[in-house]
Amino acid sequence: MVIGLCGRMGTGKSEALRIFSSLGLNVIDCDDVSRLVCLPDEQCFEELVSVFGTGIVAEDGSLNRSALAKICFTSAEYTKILNEITHKHILNYVRRWIKQSKGNCVVAAPLLFESGFDKECDITLALTAPFKILLERMNGRFTEKDFRDRLSRQYGDDFLKANCDYVIENSGTVKELSQKITLFIQCVGA
């Protein structure tokens, strides 16, 4: 079984993955995969540099993610181009990982629907939380304006609630999230 886990920034996808893993499920985070496929000498890295220029390359030859973000998150068109390039490489990596995994898999994909990967999942699960809590969780990582800009490029809770098979509200403690995930696993038979 493949469970697609999504949710906006700050909803607790990383914590949820730790909980799923502790309960014996195979887990992978597409954010981590994106870092792997964007290493120098990877095809994805080369495509990004080809499209967005050498200004996104750090002095050490790696991808300068903040420079790329400054370009891509200021324009819906550039965000779309970025996603078209990265999604194919990320999803190919994830597909290979799923084939090699034994047992149930949880794929944390912040852009599950945007990438089309939801169609490859047996079950989709969204994490949600009120904006105030998301902002508190992201405090220090982004300015409020940057955070709002990034959130504006993601599907909102209303979309996720309408399109996911299951939704977990994650506005409480880690213990409460763990209890909800345990109940979810029992419910779906994972």
pLDDT in tens, 31-68: 999 999 999 999 999 999 999 999 999 999 999 998 99
pLDDT in tens, 77-135: 898 899 999 999 999 999 999 999 999 999 999 889 989 999 999 999 999 999 888 88
d(CA 181, CA 23): 9
Three-class secondary structure of residue 104 per DSSP:
coil
Q: What's the predicted TM-score (pTM) here? A: 0.89
Q: Which of 100, 179, 111, 182 is nearest to 150 (CA)?
A: 111
- Is pLDDT of 7 > 90? yes
For residues 180 and 168, the answer to whether their CB atoms sit within 8 Å is: yes
In the numeric block, the tokens 């967005």 are attached to 52
* Exposure class string for 163-183: b at 16+ Cβ within 10 A, else e: ebeebbbbeeeeeebbebbee
The pLDDT score that the predictor gives to residue 51 is 95
- Tell me the domains of the chain and their CATH numbers: 2-188 (3.40.50.300)
Residue 105 phi/psi, 5-degree rounding, is: -125, 140
